[in-house]
Chain A
């Protein structure tokens, strides 16, 4: 076994400057999903042990059957657009159009009667008809995209005319 690498120190403010290039070969059958997860935003991600942790979601709590999400400030998409509560609402509404958008199955769907409200730029209220115990797990497959993504590409919507089976 070869030696270990010293991690780059964190500079003041917690930011790090990207350096270097890494070439990855990933023959896993879910490579397409891993690329998606490494290039798009989601409210949550998983830590090393597989536990859900916040990503563009900074915090969340339940108020009855409503899940309140505080959006992390300062996040930007690759095209420079700031990620706000409205980005999350737009992404939610885009995917809710389809009956079976998720490739792994409809168990990742949110209730079709869910209402999403943005009281301010960094708060989203998911008003579910009933509590959704799997909401945070579903958030892992809830991809948040910029306005330009939805207007120009979507998940192949323009090409295929549908989002069924591929978000």
Chain B
């Protein structure tokens, strides 16, 4: 197994799709490139239901987004099916809150907020949203397309103005520091943000905690005592079944309070040489089960 970190990803995709003998596995294929892999004679596309989630991180530090009605209105404005179809080429799953729907902490009876512009407008009006108040929507370059789609939804469904700010790559570290250190007010109402679960044993420890706990790096708003209590119970609960139940309660709380704008869970897409048997893993890139067939370039001389 050789990690070729000296090959540009775009070049690597070309090599796995159009040749054999150079590159066997390319991860992080974009949905836009998925068709190229599917049409390839040399490669297969592996789509993995990954422990990844894209959401709009809501700045709850001040009015009007400190009002749950406003946050619910934003969620009701989102057309998740269109987002998944047009931005992710279908390679994503809608998500009700922050737990991926295939994780064991996802509550069974929780459905994503419906696309309901009328109810969204009603809630926004009830909360007293000022007509001249533009929503400040920020995004990093990797999720800019999501932000542009989301801005369209907010404008069309709620009739509000949206100003998009794309954070340039050269400013990313400074922006990350501002978000994590929390010493300065952050200059956005909603930040489109992609995250993932690494440890997998308990997604709320890595996802929900990071966004909403008092010690969470991405929390932008006041601490919720109910959230703190549930997370406090989690860290001393050694019974997996009970831990899973607490995880579901955390996800339901996050949903009820509409703490983020919940969007989708993108699939991880991997291009794999046709002679390689690769097993996709939800949380990480695992290669222990990977095998090559007798027709693989590395075995053609009887190896």
Q: Judge whether B25 and A25 touch: CB under 8 Å.
A: yes
Q: Which of B27, B199, B205 has the most CB of A within 10 A?
A: B199
Are the C-beta atoms of A107 and B26 separated by less than 8 Å?
A: no
Min CB–CB distance A128 → chain B (angstroms)? 10
When distances are taken between beta carbons in the complex, the residues of chain B under 8 Å from A62 are 238
Interfacial chain B residues near A67, Cβ < 8 Å: 238
Bound-state Cα–Cα, A147 to B274, Å: 40
Pick from B7, B43, B237, B287: contact of A133, CB under 8 Å: B237
Residues of B within 8 A of A19 (CB): 292, 299, 303
Selected contact of B238 from candidates A8, A21, A48, A132, CB within 8 Å = A132
Kindly provide the distance from the CB of B39 to the nearest chain A CB, expressed in whole angstroms.
8
CB distance from B291 to the nearest CB of A (A): 5
**In whole Å, how far is B54's beta carbon from the nearest beta carbon of chain A?**
15
Does B188 touch A at the CB level, under 8 Å?
Answer: no
Write the residues of chain B forming the contact surface with A, with a CB cutoff of 8 angstroms: 1-5, 7, 9, 12, 16, 22-28, 37-45, 49, 51, 102-104, 197-202, 205-206, 209, 215, 217, 234-238, 243, 274-277, 279-288, 290-293, 296, 298-299, 303
- Interface segment out of the listed A31-39, A70-78, A113-121, A155-163: A31-39
Docked Cα-Cα span, A8 to B285, in Å, equals 21
B274 near A34 with CB under 8 A, answer no
Q: Interface 1/0s, chain A 45-75, versus B by CB < 8 A?
A: 1111111100000000010000100000000
CB pair B4–A137 under 8 Å, yes or no, is: no
> Once the chains are docked, how many angstroms separate the CA of A6 from the CA of B274?
11
Ordered by A's residue number, 7 sampled pairs between the chains whose C-beta atoms are within 8 Å are A5-B292, A22-B287, A24-B3, A25-B7, A50-B281, A67-B238, A133-B236
Cross-chain contact A20 with B199 (CB below 8 angstroms): no
Closest A-chain residue to B198, C-beta based?
A: A104
Name the 8 nearest CB pairs between A and B, nearest first.
A137-B201, A2-B274, A50-B282, A20-B292, A25-B12, A137-B199, A5-B293, A5-B277
Distance in angstroms between the alpha carbons of A49 and B201 in the assembled complex: 11
Q: Are A28 and B282 in contact (CB under 8 A)?
A: no
B3, B287, B292, B299: most-surrounded residue (chain A CB, <10 A): B3
Q: A8-B291, A25-B9, A46-B286 are in contact. Are A52 and B200 (CB under 8 A)?
A: yes
Please determine whether A131 and B281 come into contact, CB atoms closer than 8 angstroms. no
Interface membership of A136, Cβ < 8 A: yes
Query: Which of A21, A52, A141 neighbours the largest number of chain B CB atoms within 10 Å of its CB?
Result: A21
B199 touches A141 (CB 8 A): yes
Would A4 and B236 count as touching, CB distance under 8 A? no
Whole-angstrom CA separation of A104 from B42 in the bound complex: 37
- The answer to whether B200 touches A51 (Cβ under 8 A) is yes
Does A27 reach chain B (CB closer than 8 Å)? Answer: yes
Taking a contact as CB atoms under 8 Å apart, the answer to whether B27 and A27 are in contact is yes
> Which residues of A line the B interface, CB within 8 A?
1-8, 19-28, 30-31, 33-35, 37-38, 44-52, 62, 67, 104-105, 107-108, 130-138, 140-141
B24 and A26 contacting across the interface, CB-CB below 8 Å: no
Residue in B22, B43, B276, B280 whose CB lies within 8 Å of A5: B276
| Residue of chain A at shortest CB distance from B288 | A38
Which residues of B sit under 8 angstroms from A141, Cβ to Cβ?
198-199
Q: Is the CB of B51 within 8 A of A21?
A: no
CB-CB under 8 A from B206, the residues of chain A are 104
Q: Which residues of B contact A48 (CB under 8 A)?
A: 279-282
Minimum CB–CB distance for B76 against chain A, Å: 30
User: In the complex, which of the residues B23, B44, B291 has the most CB atoms of chain A within 10 Å of its own CB atom?
Assistant: B291
**A23 CA / B202 CA spacing, docked (Å):** 32
Q: Which residues does chain B contribute within 8 Å of A34, judged by CB atoms?
A: 284-285
Query: Are A25 and B4 interface neighbours, CB within 8 A?
Result: yes
Q: Which of B217, B238, B283 contacts A46 (CB 8 A)?
A: B283
Tell me if A49 and B199 are in contact (CB < 8 A): no
**Known pairs A2-B43, A26-B27 / 14 extra A-B pairs, C-beta < 8 Å:** A1-B44, A5-B276, A6-B293, A7-B291, A19-B303, A22-B24, A26-B5, A27-B27, A28-B28, A28-B285, A34-B284, A37-B284, A38-B285, A49-B102
Give the CA-CA distance A7 to B40 in the complex, in Å: 22
Give the residues in chain A near B104, CB-CB below 8 Å: 51
Most chain B CB within 10 A, of A19, A33, A46, A51, is at A46
